[in-house]
Amino acid sequence: MHHLASAVLSFFLSPLNWIIILVIAGFGFKKRSLKLTCRILAVVIFIVFGNQPLMDWYANKWQPAPVTINPALTYSCGIVPGGFASPDKDGEGLFNATSDRFIQVLKLYKVGEITHILVNGGNGKKEKKEFKEGQWVKQELVTMGVPDSVIFIEDQSNNTAENAINAKKILDAHQLKPPYLLISSAHHIPRASLLFKKAGVVTEPFPCNYLAGRGAFSFSDLIPQLGVLGTWDFYLKETAGYYYYK
């Protein structure tokens, strides 16, 4: 039921879905004034939420800025939530659009900022249980020269709240003491940090995979873009989730 409610909430938090609903409603209504109202609202939503500068402004208000790690500080564990690898049509693993998480956790280990890696959670798809993201990511890390002994995987979680609870169990079991580094997509960091703190795991954020907020301004950005609409989905979902748990 929780997953159904989450899916419904995600649907109604999408500006693109509201535009589609309004366009369809515009054709469905018989009254001309209602048709016109729906079409005007659809255009307004497109102009507002298709605006890149507005998206960048919101992103910068929401997500943490890039951080510089203190070279004198070593973290006992870099916790990286899953979701950056997916199965292909044959069930084989592949990196997806959030794979910057993998790049950054590997880099942080290679330069000595973290001594252990916890791959936390699967790809969040209950219907894809034949694909074990944690195991696949671990093998990729080993291939890149990371010792098997410093990699821990947790592949039972289906959401960030479960990520946090199960991560604490693993950290406690292996007696890994703070500080911990939470390596995740910038838009995901505020909610993830909150949930980990609630589970008793105080982390320091290492945001990556920025979807918005870091590009240079161009006057062409003032022209509404369809692609920007989809980016709002990630930020609005994270914002709603954050205040729900807070």
- Separation between Cα atoms, residue 154 and residue 243, nearest integer Å: 26
Rounded to whole angstroms, the Cα distance separating 154 from 163 reads 8
The model's pLDDT over 102-138, given as tens digits with 9 standing for 90+, comes to: 999 999 999 999 999 999 876 545 555 678 888 999 9
Q: What is the pLDDT of residues 60-86, one digit of tens each?
A: 999 999 999 888 889 999 999 988 998
**pLDDT number for residue 9:** 78
What is the dihedral sign for C-alpha 128, 133, 135, 136? positive
d(C-alpha 185, C-alpha 82), whole Å: 11
The set of residues, in sequence order, having a beta carbon less than 8 Å from that of 10 and lying 6+ positions away, is 233, 237
Its pTM stands at 0.89
pLDDT band at 1 (very low <50, low <70, confident <90, very high): very low
Rounded to 5 degrees, what are φ and ψ at 97?
A: -65, -15
Q: What is the pLDDT of residues 42-56, one digit of tens each?
A: 999 999 999 999 999
* pLDDT on residue 3: 62
Please, what's the b/e burial string for 86-117 (b: 16 or more CB within 10 A of its CB; e: otherwise)? Answer: bbeeeeebebeebbbbbebbbebbeeebbebb
Helices 52-62 and 226-245: angle between axes, nearest 10 degrees? 20
The pLDDT tens digits for 141-161 are 999 999 999 999 998 888 899
Q: Is the pLDDT of residue 173 over 60?
A: yes
Give the DSSP letter of residue 66. Answer: P
